[in-house]
Chain A
């Protein structure tokens, strides 16, 4: 089945630094990937839709200059949290759809990345 790999699984950084999170589709090509943020005991909040070869589409309230998304290839999307602050600490999860699968609408998720900003 479809596999989405996310790296790193956890990262600790100092306030003011930038952190990059990678999301890869391992055995399929994904023209579109999705980035979510999840707070403890809360649902997944869609941050942005990453589009290969074009600009990402951000959800209302998500700062595009704060959360930079790059989708340079059909198997890789990156999320960079710029000038991170403690309030950016969260669990970030990416997902993608394998259009080859019978249930092409199924979102396959990465394992998530836990970001802690000190």
Chain B
């Protein structure tokens, strides 16, 4: 069964305290893995796409990595404005998108 699991469900960090969010997936053929940021009451905002194991993408304090079974979103020296829910989505070969339940990140000043 195709599914996406994100952990932890919630994460509280002190400003400057680096950490990682996990997205584990099982799909019958991976076309792409996507990371989105969602602020309360807003639609998801695209961050990264990863297509193959070993690929990495970076944007400011965020870096996404991909293996054959999971993806990590590394947050380096986070700031309060990084507080949001981070969603992971996987697109299978059948073009379906499967979303995880997200990790709610809170960065405390």
- Whether chains A and B associate is yes
Which chain A residues have a beta carbon within 8 Å of chain B's beta carbons? 4, 6, 34, 41-44, 46, 91, 93, 95, 103, 105-112, 114
Contacts of A112 in B (CB 8 A): 41-43
Give Cα A111 to B41, complex, Å.
Answer: 8
Give Cα A116 to B31, complex, Å.
Answer: 36
Task: Decide if B87 touches A44 in the complex (CB within 8 Å).
Answer: yes
Which chain B residues have a beta carbon within 8 Å of chain A's beta carbons? 31-32, 34, 36, 41-46, 49, 87, 89, 91, 96-97, 99-102, 104
* Residue from B41, B46, B87 in contact with A43 in the complex, judged by beta carbons closer than 8 Å: B87
Known contacts A43-B99, A44-B87, A46-B97; decide if A108 and B46 are in contact (CB<8 Å).
Answer: yes
Give Cα A19 to B99, complex, Å.
Answer: 26
* Residue from B31, B32, B42, B101 in contact with A111 in the complex, judged by beta carbons closer than 8 Å: B42
Task: Decide if A106 touches B34 in the complex (CB within 8 Å).
Answer: yes
Chain A residues touching B, majority SS: strand
Q: How many A-B residue pairs have CB under 8 A?
A: 49
* Residue from A46, A105, A108 in contact with B32 in the complex, judged by beta carbons closer than 8 Å: A105
Task: Decide if B49 touches A105 in the complex (CB within 8 Å).
Answer: yes
Task: Decide if A43 touches B91 in the complex (CB within 8 Å).
Answer: no
Contacts of A34 in B (CB 8 A): 97
* Residue from B46, B100, B101 in contact with A106 in the complex, judged by beta carbons closer than 8 Å: B46
Give Cα A108 to B47, complex, Å.
Answer: 11
Contacts of A42 in B (CB 8 A): 101
Known contacts A103-B49, A105-B91; decide if A43 and B43 are in contact (CB<8 Å).
Answer: no
10 A–B contacts, CB within 8 A, in A order: A41-B101, A42-B101, A46-B96, A91-B41, A105-B91, A107-B46, A107-B89, A107-B97, A109-B43, A110-B43
Given contacts A41-B101, A43-B101, A106-B34, 19 further A-B contacts (CB under 8 A): A34-B97, A43-B100, A44-B44, A44-B87, A44-B89, A46-B96, A46-B97, A93-B43, A103-B32, A105-B32, A105-B34, A105-B49, A106-B46, A106-B49, A109-B43, A109-B46, A111-B43, A112-B41, A112-B42
